[in-house]
Structure 1
Amino acid sequence: MGDLPPELKMMKQHVLKIVLGLVLLAGLWTSVHTIAPEEEGVVVTLGKYNRTLLPGLNFILPFGIETIYKIPVQRQLKQEFGFRTVQAGQRTTYSKSPYMDESIMLTGDLNIADVEWVVQYRIVDSYRFLFRVRNAEETLRVMSESVMRKIVGDRTVNEVLTVGRQEIATRAEELLQAMSDEYENGIRIDQIVLQDVNPPDPVKPSFNEVNQAQQQRETLINQAEAEYNREVPRARGEAREMIELAEAYALNRVNDAIGDAARFNSIYTEYILAPEVTRQRLYLETMERVLPTMGSKIIVDERGNNVLPLLNLEQTRRGAN
């Protein structure tokens, strides 16, 4: 085959330089990696875990000999169930219709509730996150849905829609964290938030009517209790007042009777000692009380012969007063 012409030799040298430059560029491209401050770099050598790199500029073996996975260990992540955030901002928009199957659940009293929730979590162990569970994020989603359906299935629809929401969220967080620890997926659950809990749209009008009826019933019960609390104490007070008045009246009559009896006994004692004087005094005292109440007075003797009209007794008495 003879020697190549100088032009071809020069061209071959240029091609070799270009290929070598491309190889060097590819090696540099695949070996230099920048890890963000909120990330860790997990290096795998030929499919086996090798080391974990800290944030900053790092180098690995090129051409796929080593592969790096950047795990956001300092960032709070979230998974949404029953809806997806389309655009976040001052007026956040959501999409719900394609995700109804995630949120429709059966309650313990065989009713249906539409439960939307958010799981907020962090990756605390990048090694476990990558190698203990296959597709840890999808597994976490399945676990979250399973836990929420279990908790909702143990409660009535009224508990789910009203007073039991906080308890459901707290219990779901506890169970999901326990499952994450059991599976060793390297995830820590920060919070579970019930975004929205409603009856399904087809039965929402009927459910609202039931709620209105229940609220009206509660209102009437509260009004009745308020009326009871207002009237019963007043009636008890009036009854107590009447009892106290009756007791006071009885005590007054008894005291009067005791006084009258004592006075009668004292008079009787005086009468025993001086009957005529006592009788005369009683007569005079009685006439002193009776005569002022009379109008015109006429005094006669025992035989009725002498009449002495005392027509001015009342005037005299008034003048004396």
Structure 2
Amino acid sequence: MFGNGQQSNGHYSGGVVNQGASMKNAKKGIIIGALVIFLMLCVGQSFYQVKEQEQAILTMFGKVIRVDTAGLYFKVPFIQQAHLIDMTTHGIGIGYVIKDGQNITVDDEGVMITSDFNFVDIDFYLEYKVSDPVAAFYNTEDPAAVMKNMALANIRNTVVNYTVDDVITTAKGQIQSEVKEKLQKELSDNNIGITVVNLSVQDAEPPTQEIVQAFKSVETAKQGKETAVNNAKKYKSEELPKAEAEADKIIQDAEAAKQARIAEAEGQVARFNEMYEQYKLQPYITKKRLFYEAMEDVLPDLKVIITDGNTEQMLPLDSFNN
């Protein structure tokens, strides 16, 4: 019994030793596997491929180290980053979008006003590519969207200088050249990192009927305004001379009345002074003459009834004075 017990303890001790060795081997295998994976990641992060139509910006802690063209390059893993920039030519439509193989008009972009106050629906196709990968990557979040907004602004500023007939017929080439030149200058001034390859007018035609109708309403209102202004100017040109003439007549009449009153007053003063001089020479005679002259002015308009005071008056008395 005792011997059997010793034998059992021996088997137990051997099993424990074997289990511990297995665990150590497993841990060692995990560590080795992790190291292998890490080394593979390091190798994978240490090299990058730049294709023929690409350029790569190598940065470290956000700072540009270099710009690489096509080829295989080494970088410090997990510290340096390579940003691939597509250098091929791209194209976008302005005034329309392509959906299911069909060109769908975008009225907010394509409809523009001309110098003769008409609307035109004009579509452009813009081809561009990256000219400065660092500027395109760092200076704007979406350089293509910024470029499209600039293109729209320059197109509108150019089309507004032409009549609708010119835009639809003979001026397309000139408009293309002007817009391309303006857009390229604005892109360069703002350092967007994009250059214009080509800009062409795809189509130019009158806008939809709804827009035409709205424009006609605006034109009608504008013509109504002009008619009202012209009528007001005509009324002013007709009535102003009349009013000025009436004002001049009133002023002239007032001036004439003023001069007449002054002359009359001066005449009365002169007459009074003359009578006063005579009065000083012959006071009594002058008084009598003035009295008689006053009676001559007053008596012809008076009705005189002579009575003894006791005679009964009969009405009317006018017949007795005839």
Q: CA-to-partner distance for each residue in 1:158-214, whole Å, 9 max, x for gaps?
A: 2221111111111000100110111122322221111111222226999xxxxxxxx
Could you tell me which residue of structure 1 aligns to residue 167 of structure 2?
160
Aligned to 1:71, what secondary structure does the other structure show?
strand
CA distance in 1, matches of 2:158, 2:92: 18
Q: Cα distance 1:112–1:21, how it changes in 2: closer, same or farther (>3 A)? A: farther
Within the candidate set 117, 125, 129, 2:124 is matched to: 117
Q: Give the fraction of aligned pairs with identical amino acids, expressed as a percent.
A: 22
Could you tell me which residue of structure 2 aligns to residue 311 of structure 1?
none
How many residues are treated as equivalent by the alignment?
Answer: 197
Aligned to 1:62, what secondary structure does the other structure show?
coil
Could you tell me which residue of structure 2 aligns to residue 202 of structure 1?
209
Within the candidate set 28, 33, 43, 1:28 is matched to: 43
Alignment pair present for 1:69 and 2:83:
yes
Q: Cα distance 1:165–1:30, how it changes in 2: closer, same or farther (>3 A)? A: same
Aligned to 1:114, what secondary structure does the other structure show?
strand
Alignment pair present for 1:52 and 2:67:
yes
Equivalent residue runs for 1:1-321 within 5 Å: 5-63=20-78, 65-73=79-87, 75-86=88-99, 93-97=101-105, 99-202=106-209
Q: Cα distance 1:168–1:130, how it changes in 2: closer, same or farther (>3 A)? A: same
Aligned to 1:37, what secondary structure does the other structure show?
coil
Give me the CA root mean square deviation.
2.6
Q: CA-to-partner distance for each residue in 1:217-269, whole Å, 9 max, x for gaps?
A: xxxxxxxxxxxxxxxxxxxxxxxxxxxxxxxxxxxxxxxxxxxxxxxxxxxxx
Structure 1 contact 44–51 (Cα < 8 Å) conserved: yes
Instruction: Give 1:107 shift.
Output: 2.4
Structure 2 contact 159–167 (Cα < 8 Å) conserved: yes
Instruction: Give 1:117 shift.
Output: 0.7
Aligned to 1:96, what secondary structure does the other structure show?
strand
Structure 2 contact 96–103 (Cα < 8 Å) conserved: yes
Instruction: Give 1:146 shift.
Output: 1.0
CA distance in 1, matches of 2:157, 2:212: 27
CA distance in 2, matches of 1:15, 1:100: 64
Structure 2 contact 57–82 (Cα < 8 Å) conserved: yes
Structure 1 contact 83–94 (Cα < 8 Å) conserved: no
Instruction: Give 1:111 shift.
Output: 2.3
Instruction: Give 1:112 shift.
Output: 2.2
CA distance in 2, matches of 1:197, 1:29: 53
Q: Cα distance 1:203–1:160, how it changes in 2: closer, same or farther (>3 A)? A: farther
* Runs of 5+ consecutive residues of structure 2 not aligned to the other structure: 1-15, 214-322
Structure 1 contact 132–183 (Cα < 8 Å) conserved: no
Aligned to 1:109, what secondary structure does the other structure show?
coil
After TM superposition, which residue ranges in structure 1, 4 or more long, deviate above 3 angstroms?
Answer: 84-87, 203-206
Q: Which amino acid aligns with 1:77?
A: H
Q: Which amino acid aligns with 1:115?
A: I
Q: Which amino acid aligns with 1:28?
A: V
Structure with max Cα Rg: 2
Q: Which amino acid aligns with 1:54?
A: T
TM score, norm. by length of structure 1: 0.55
Q: CA-to-partner distance for each residue in 1:61-91, whole Å, 9 max, x for gaps?
A: 222x222222233x2222221233457xxxx
Q: Cα distance 1:39–1:15, how it changes in 2: closer, same or farther (>3 A)? A: same
Instruction: Give 1:6 shift.
Output: 1.7
Structure 1 contact 44–67 (Cα < 8 Å) conserved: yes
Instruction: Give 1:108 shift.
Output: 2.7
Q: Which moved more, 1:117-126 or 1:22-31?
A: 22-31
Q: CA-to-partner distance for each residue in 1:5-38, whole Å, 9 max, x for gaps?
A: 2222222122222222322233333332111112
Q: Cα distance 1:167–1:60, how it changes in 2: closer, same or farther (>3 A)? A: same
Structure 2 contact 119–212 (Cα < 8 Å) conserved: no
Q: Which moved more, 1:99-108 or 1:42-51?
A: 99-108
Aligned to 1:195, what secondary structure does the other structure show?
strand
Could you tell me which residue of structure 2 aligns to residue 297 of structure 1?
none
